[in-house]
Amino acid sequence: MERLDELRKQIDVIDEQILKLLNKRAELAIEIGKIKKAQNKPLYVPSREKAIYERLKAINSGPFPDEYIKNVFREIISASLSLEEVQKIAYLGPEGTFTHLAGIKHFGLAAKLIPLSNISDVFEYVEKKRCTYGVIPIENSLEGVVNHTLDMFMDSNLKICGEVYLEVSHHLMNLSGNFDDIKKIYSHPHAIAQCRKWLSKNARRITVVEVESTAKAAEIAKKDASVAAIASEMAEIHYGLKIVEKSIEDFTNNFTRFLVIGYTESARTGNDKTSIMFSVAHRAGSLYEALRAFAKQNINMTKIESRPSKRKAWEYIFYVDIDGHIMDENVKIALDNFSKNVNILKILGSYPKGEK
Ligand SMILES: C=C(O[C@@H]1C=C(C(=O)O)C=C[C@H]1O)C(=O)O
């Protein structure tokens, strides 16, 4: 037998062993699912999943690459979890958006992802338990925060249970893949802003039209050969378009951060983040005094935003992210002191940090 055939035979044997083990593993997951259901515990446990990825990465002896262990096990876990219960996930659609991609990255392909047309609907679907979790964008490293998402937390009791980072790259695409066919370019205002230099250099005479999402732009481009969309690779595949020019963004290092919202609280993993919202009195130094509680406990603040309270003119709500979990001793002490210096305090959730 040729060496090539011989090696492939060995791979076939190993694949059979992997499949047998996958089924053994799935049986255990089903058992665990029954226990969790009987104890009324959440079926999806992100802290456990994170611990699995990290443990396997630490013991990996190679040559299987460390960076792909999570991808492989993400799908194994997603498929196992679907045997306990298929997870219904609401996300800001339509299909083919970066939020869709973030949902798949976090929950895997076995979850049922449900596209909704706005951020409020995603909150409502999860609040009314039509979906177990929701995925929404919260900020882009170049364009800043998504105000609508922040504002939704004012009146919602949902918790943040996870975060996902995606590197964003914009491509110009149309039906033919031919630049000369393009009369109009459609995209989301953020994507257009991020490709400004390229557009002014290469598409001066082409009309640029803003639409509500990059996927919507791709949907329009699919119907009209003279329309091109600036959208993601996901949209290209989903809408059957052809890339005219790849990565036309002005700056690299473009990341979008997404939040996973739901009713369950995520357990401590040792590498977590906590999000809070609060207001302070209109008094000199009140914000400074409050935030000192974190500095005193040596807690790093990773984000601060302010938004109008919408209840009274010139009254603001602050949003802060800190390193650590509410079950960490230093976070507990800091929040206890912090709460003495603020008016309203709402803990939006502690959750495992997303991989950048
Ligand atoms: C099996 C479990 O349920 C789910 C599936 C997991 C898995 O397949 O390893 C891990 C965490 C949960 O999201 C569990 O809780 O351990």
* CATH (domain of 214): 3.40.190.10
132 is catalytic: no
Final residue before a domain boundary, out of 61, 84, 107: 84
pLDDT at 348 (0 to 100): 97
Per the structure, the count of domains in the chain is 3
Which residue of the set 153, 258, 278, 338 is catalytic?
A: 258
Q: Is residue 298 part of a domain?
A: yes
**CATH code: domain of residue 30:** 1.20.59.10
Sheet holding 272-278, edge to edge: 301-308, 316-323, 272-278, 345-352
pLDDT at 87 (0 to 100): 93
What is the phi/psi pair of residue 330, to 5°?
A: -65, -35
Q: Is residue 143 part of a domain?
A: no
Q: Is residue 144 part of a domain?
A: no
What is the phi/psi pair of residue 60, to 5°?
A: -65, 125
| Higher-confidence position of 21 and 265 | 21
What is the token pair recorded at 225?
A: 């050969």
Q: Is residue 117 part of a domain?
A: no
Q: Is 122 exposed, middle or buried (0-12, 13-18, 19+ CB in 10 A)?
A: buried
Q: Is residue 102 part of a domain?
A: no
Are residues 282 and 246 part of one domain? no
Question: How far is the CA of 297 from the CAs of 270, 279, 293, 320, in angstroms?
Answer: 16, 21, 7, 16
Are residues 300 and 245 part of one domain? no
Position 12 confidence tier, pLDDT thresholds 50, 70, 90: very high
Are residues 273 and 241 part of one domain? no
Tell me the percentage of the chain whose pLDDT exceeds 70. 100
pLDDT at 190 (0 to 100): 86
Are residues 272 and 196 part of one domain? no
User: How many angstroms separate the CA atoms of 301 and 290, rounded?
Assistant: 13
Position 173 confidence tier, pLDDT thresholds 50, 70, 90: very high
Position 168 confidence tier, pLDDT thresholds 50, 70, 90: confident
User: How many angstroms separate the CA atoms of 344 and 312, rounded?
Assistant: 14
Is the pLDDT score of 82 beyond 90?
Answer: yes
Question: Tens digit of pLDDT for each residue in 35-48?
Answer: 999 999 989 999 99
98 is catalytic: no
Domain containing 30 equals: 3-84
Are residues 72 and 9 part of one domain? yes
Is the pLDDT score of 75 beyond 80?
Answer: yes
pLDDT at 257 (0 to 100): 96
Taking residue 84's Cβ as centre, other Cβ atoms within 10 Å add up to 18
Question: Tens digit of pLDDT for each residue in 55-68?
Answer: 999 999 999 999 99
Q: Is residue 330 part of a domain?
A: yes
Are residues 311 and 233 part of one domain? no
Q: Is residue 206 part of a domain?
A: yes
Instruction: Report how far ligand 1's centroid is from the alpha carbon of 130 (Å).
Output: 22
Final residue before a domain boundary, out of 207, 232, 253: 253
Ligand 1 proximal residues by C-beta, below 6 Å = 29, 32, 44-45, 48-49, 52, 77, 80-81, 84
What sign does the CA torsion over 266, 268, 273, 274 have?
positive
Instruction: Report how far ligand 1's centroid is from the alpha carbon of 107 (Å).
Output: 12
Position 199 confidence tier, pLDDT thresholds 50, 70, 90: very high
pLDDT at 313 (0 to 100): 78
Q: Which DSSP category does 300 fall into? A: P
pLDDT at 133 (0 to 100): 97
Are residues 283 and 232 part of one domain? no
Q: What is the mean pLDDT of the chain?
A: 94
| Higher-confidence position of 236 and 243 | 243
ipTM associated with this complex: 0.96
Position 337 confidence tier, pLDDT thresholds 50, 70, 90: very high
Residue with tokens 């611990």: 51
Which residue of the set 99, 132, 214, 256 is catalytic?
A: 256
User: How many angstroms separate the CA atoms of 77 and 83, rounded?
Assistant: 10
What is the token pair recorded at 127?
A: 């609040």
Is the pLDDT score of 243 beyond 80?
Answer: yes
3-state secondary structure of 294: helix
Final residue before a domain boundary, out of 218, 253, 288: 253
Is the pLDDT score of 104 beyond 80?
Answer: yes
Is the pLDDT score of 309 beyond 80?
Answer: yes
User: How many angstroms separate the CA atoms of 7 and 3, rounded?
Assistant: 6
